[in-house]
Amino acid sequence: MEWTGEALLIGVRRHGETSVIAEAMVAGRGRHLGLVRGGRTRRLAAVLQPGNTIQLTWRARLEDQLGMFTVELLQARAAALIEDRTRLYLSQLVCEHLRLLPERDPHDRLLAMALRLVDNPPDGAELARFELAVLDDLGYGLDLASCAATGTTIDLTHVSPKTGRAVSRTAAQPYLDRLLPLPSFLTTRGNAGPDDIADALRLTGHFLDAQVWGPRDIATSPTRQSLIDILSRKD
């Protein structure tokens, strides 16, 4: 069996003395792993850097085998990422999130969002939207369309930390100490200030921890917290 596709490299781990197992998000095919023989050589090490876009050819005798990758560099980002700490942290976090997805299950919306994040100046609002989309694709999407208590679709200001449903300003008043703030840009596509970004990433972080990281026994990413501190900084 064989196929060729364009992919964002999201992880590499050593295998034996000279090879690596590469992990990539492939358009139309989702998160896919493959063995790269000689992947630790100087020539291939520069290609196999997370954040790079590569052309993959996968070969295996049977569909459910790990298979072999041959790789060709299409777009190198690693050097530019290393020069910019914020972009580096953002790229690392995006790759960590994509590795949460099930293998060989297409998630082209997330791949497109990931590429926009790593190819543009760091944007906390877009990161929050990306994390909401990750939760949605994992089956834990938040319901931010209407108030859980009244059904109204306007003036939604909070989210229940238990149900992930939005709550309107009026309905939220007796429970403000129990609810999570809902920045308006997540529902209206408006502008986002530093406090809005901090609140949005606190919201997505709560549900990632409750629904994904905690159940999988994954430690909260220190890269994510460092990135939040930078993106929500008031200049």
pLDDT digits (tens, 9 = 90+) for 136-182: 999 999 999 999 999 999 999 999 999 999 999 999 999 999 999 99
Placement of tokens 């990413």 in the chain = 221
What Å distances lie between residue 121 and 115, 124, 219, 231, CA to CA? 12, 10, 27, 11
Span 123-231: which CATH code? 1.20.1440.120
Give the pTM.
Answer: 0.94
Domain boundaries, the chain: 2-76, 123-231
What Å distances lie between residue 60 and 69, 80, 150, CA to CA? 9, 34, 55
193-228 tens-digit pLDDT: 999 999 999 999 999 999 999 999 999 888 999 999
Question: Residue 104: its pLDDT value, please?
Answer: 96
Question: Residue 44: its pLDDT value, please?
Answer: 93
Question: Residue 234: its pLDDT value, please?
Answer: 63
Residue 54 CA to residue 26 CA, distance in Å, equals: 9
| Superfamily (CATH H level) for 2-76 | Nucleic acid-binding proteins (2.40.50.140)
Question: Residue 106: its pLDDT value, please?
Answer: 96
